Amino acid sequence: MINFVTADFTQPKHAQALIFLMDAYAQDPMGGNAAIEPTILAQLPAILASRDDAFTVLAYADDTPIGLANCFVGFSTFAAKELVNVHDLVVVESHRYQGIGKALLAEVEKRALSRNACKITLEVLQNNAPARKAYQDVGFVPYELSPGAGVAEFWQKKL
């Protein structure tokens, strides 16, 4: 049985789950193939706990952490409402292809609806076909303002 909880990072169990799952994600090819620095991992639970604009949904199989969705609340000026961005979506390799990612997104959607958010956003790598299919299966589509304007791209500038 899979259980979903909103993380409370003052609870060591939740903090340890975050650290374990984020490190597993970072070391996966779709997460960059490199471990997160231990000092960053150690700080992450307290930093996320201090943010009013963040929430994390954890997935457990019995007492074992198997997935998470780290979310940040933004604002849509076009809708004058909050939006929820799924910044990290992680399912450990042993539990992939069992619908857990889709279930995590359903849990995020419940929380977004309770906030009266206008939409949920996320990013996905072009070559991550399994994730793209899962996202499409639950209603996500590439972001486009109007036909002919093109699909939005996610860009970055590291500082």
Contact indicator for 53, 73 with CB cutoff of 8 Å: yes
Please state the pTM of the whole predicted model.
0.94
Contact indicator for 23, 36 with CB cutoff of 8 Å: yes
- What residues form DSSP beta bridges with 2? 61
State the pLDDT confidence band at 132, using cuts at 50, 70 and 90. very high
What residues have CB less than 8 Å from 42, skipping those under 6 apart?
Answer: 19
Nearest CA to 122 out of 150, 95, 151, 154 is that of 154
Domain over 2-137 is classified CATH 3.40.630.30: yes
Residues 34-55 have pLDDT tens digits of 999 999 999 999 999 999 999 9
Query: Does the pLDDT value for residue 147 go beyond 90?
Result: no
Quote the CA–CA distance of 153 and 137 in Å, as a whole number. 21
Nearest CA to 95 out of 140, 138, 122, 62 is that of 62
DSSP 94: G
Amino acid present at 125: L
Residues 53-90 have pLDDT tens digits of 999 999 999 999 999 999 999 999 999 999 999 999 99
Query: Does the pLDDT value for residue 153 go beyond 90?
Result: no
DSSP-derived 3-state class of residue 75:
strand
Domain boundaries, the chain: 2-137
DSSP 36: P
